[in-house]
Amino acid sequence: MERLKQLWQWFDDRTGLSEAIGPMLAHPVPKGSTWAYVFGSATLFAFMLQVVTGIALATAYVPSTDGAYESLLFISNQALFGSVLRGLHNFGASAMIILIGIHTIRVFLFAAYKFPREFNWLTGLVLLAATLGMAFTGQLVRWDQDGLWSVFIAANMAGRMPFVGPWLSDFILAGQTVGATTLSRFYSFHVFFIPAVLFLFIGAHLYLVLRNGISEPPKLGRVVDPKTYRDWYHDMLDREGVPFWPDAGWRDAIFGVIIIAIIFLIALFIGPPELGKPPDPTNIVAYPRPDWYFLWLFAALALLPGQIETFFIVIGPVIIALVMLLLPFYANRGERHPLRRPWAMAVVLLVIIMIIPLWYAGARSPWSPDFEAEPLPAAVVNSTEPQIQEGAKLFHQKGCEYCHTISGYGGHRGPDLTTVGDRLSVNQMTWRILGGADLMPAFASTLTPEELDSINAFLQSRTAQSASSSESAAIEETK
Ligand code: HEC
């Protein structure tokens, strides 16, 4: 024991470690900080986990178009602890997004961006953007269908910006389309450039937290006045401040450890989500979806009518970014308590009210084909005629049912065809099936004339009358 102490003293004397760290750990902070204050440090914990697991993944990952997907398959299925590792990195990413989101909302609700912490807010915004950038580039680096497609959509969105659009889209894809250069670009951003930005700005952010002190918990009626705030803050710390460690820091430590433990347990027992399908440029009827953090955006784009969509893509993000960037300048004084800033609560509430249903819609994505559609049951087909039965079978086999519902079975991308026989003639149907439409592939080259006849016969048999009789047949069947 004595030996260890001597060793430490020798080490500390030569390095000056406790002299450097000690004052930081012991610096006084306002008393009464609560669990609401732990999300920033927890984001840092999650980031560290991402750095460690990311480096480990990079030792086996091959950043090339024909190696990437295979190497991830290898990591997931064969490498020792590879699956847990991918799980840690995957759920760590989700955790980091959630934590930085809560941290941002907390800072906004507590108005901690007011004087003198304007730059704490601005560096925080850079960190938020960089974290989203990591999530976005991480999707493509996975090099599966979903990741590729999400990037394509993003490049498409960027391409519609006025003036800079085409240049921006070119910059994202590193060319006209997703390919080898895109992967190189995303990989270098994901492992070099954005992490460098993160390290740099985390340093700046922490320095500012130390320099300006943690914001004291807001109190009704206490206003921030730039003329007097600093003096008041230091007086308050002198009077009733407590050392950061251990009085306030213990919560950060415990919460951080709990978060890491939860990520670990999920990675261990649930494991990483399956890799999506490998990218297949010949598969035109693919409707993959992005990772959950961008799902709401995907839903918004799918649901908005065309003209509003452009407005939403182009003007929306610019306005949001400007409002957030300028926030500490047009509102850097005054009341901090959320109850005295009802509009701030309204903004948070509004964002939540808008995003949650979009998320839900994105997860269900009724506008995507339903590839799990079961063949139509006999009670729905409800016919003994061989041609009609054959048509019903083809309706499932040829993928019509992915997009079209009949008596409640099938996807919702196209119109419900339960009573199409009342609506369309054989000619009109043939025209539509062979020629396709905006959102329907043309089947002229994939259906034989006999198959087309069977499908037509089946669809002609779909009438209001047949629907009600098949309904009663179905009820008979379940009895
Ligand atoms: C990728 C999704 C998708 C697939 C697969 C698909 N359709 Fe469609 N279908 C649509 C959409 C969307 C429309 C509406 C097109 C429009 O009117 O602009 C449509 C329209 C139709 C219509 C006209 C319906 C009406 O009420 O006007 C018929 C009939 C039809 N499809 C039959 C078929 C058949 C038969 C198949 C399989 C051989 C098929 N569809 C495969 C998406 C699809």
Mean pLDDT of the chain: 88
Name the residue of 376, 400, 443 to mutate for ligand 1: max ligand atoms within 8 A of Cβ. Answer: 400
Residues 339-356: pLDDT tens digits? 999 999 999 999 999 888
Residues 64-83: pLDDT tens digits? 988 999 999 999 999 989 99
Over 75-94, what HEC string results? HHHCCCCHHHHHHHHHHHHH
Mean pLDDT, residues 189-213: 96
β-strand partners of 80: none
Full-model pTM: 0.77
Radius of gyration of the chain (CA): 29
Q: What is the pLDDT of residue 234?
A: 94
**In 3-state terms, what secondary structure has residue 242?**
strand
Name the residue of 432, 452, 458, 460 to mutate for ligand 1: max ligand atoms within 8 A of Cβ. Answer: 432
Q: What is the pLDDT of residue 181?
A: 92
Query: Which protein residues are within 6 Å of ligand 1, measured from CB?
Result: 285, 369, 398-400, 402-404, 413-415, 420, 423-424, 429, 432-433, 437-441, 443, 455, 459
Residue nearest to atom 22 of ligand 1 (CA): 432
Residue nearest to atom 32 of ligand 1 (CA): 433
Q: What is the pLDDT of residue 284?
A: 45
What are the chain's domains? Answer: 27-364 (1.20.810.10), 378-478 (1.10.760.10)
In this predicted structure, the answer to whether residue 263 has a pLDDT above a threshold of 90 is: yes
- Tokens at 37, concatenated: 């204050």
- How many Å lie between the centroid of ligand 1 and the Cα of residue 436? 7
Q: What is the pLDDT of residue 447?
A: 86
Residue nearest to atom 15 of ligand 1 (CA): 437
Angle between helices 145-159 and 165-173 in degrees, nearest 10: 160
Angle between helices 249-269 and 39-58 in degrees, nearest 10: 40
- How many Å lie between the centroid of ligand 1 and the Cα of residue 462? 14
- How many Å lie between the centroid of ligand 1 and the Cα of residue 417? 9
Closest to 132 (Cα-Cα) out of 300, 264, 291: 291
Residues 280-338: pLDDT tens digits? 655 544 566 788 888 888 787 777 766 677 777 777 888 889 999 999 999 889 999 99
Task: Give the number of other CB atoms < 10 A from CB of residue 344.
Answer: 19
Q: How many helices (H) and strands (E) does the chain have?
A: 22, 4
Residues 11-59: pLDDT tens digits? 999 999 999 888 888 899 998 778 899 999 999 999 999 999 999 999 9
- How many Å lie between the centroid of ligand 1 and the Cα of residue 401? 9
Residue nearest to atom 5 of ligand 1 (CA): 400
Q: How far is Cα 147 from Cα 184, in angstroms, rounded to an integer?
A: 14
Q: What is the pLDDT of residue 390?
A: 93
Q: Are 424 and 416 in contact (CB under 8 A)?
A: no
Q: What is the pLDDT of residue 477?
A: 58
Q: What is the pLDDT of residue 317?
A: 82
Closest to 136 (Cα-Cα) out of 125, 147, 123, 152: 147
Q: How far is Cα 50 from Cα 45, in angstroms, rounded to an integer?
A: 9
In ligand 1, the atom with minimum distance to the C-alpha of 443 is 38
Q: What is the pLDDT of residue 280?
A: 65
In single-letter form, the type of residue at position 2 comes to: E
Least confident of 358-367, 381-390, 398-407: 358-367
In this predicted structure, the answer to whether residue 474 has a pLDDT above a threshold of 80 is: no
Q: How far is Cα 299 from Cα 295, in angstroms, rounded to an integer?
A: 6
Greater pLDDT, 242 or 470: 242
Q: What is the pLDDT of residue 154?
A: 80
Mean pLDDT, residues 177-192: 92
Angle between helices 82-109 and 292-303 in degrees, nearest 10: 70
In this predicted structure, the answer to whether residue 473 has a pLDDT above a threshold of 80 is: no
Q: How far is Cα 415 from Cα 406, in angstroms, rounded to an integer?
A: 10
Residues 117-152: pLDDT tens digits? 999 999 999 999 999 999 999 999 988 877 887 887
- Tokens at 109, concatenated: 């609700």
CA angle 163, 167, 169 (to 5 degrees): 110
Name the residue of 376, 419, 440, 456 to mutate for ligand 1: max ligand atoms within 8 A of Cβ. Answer: 440
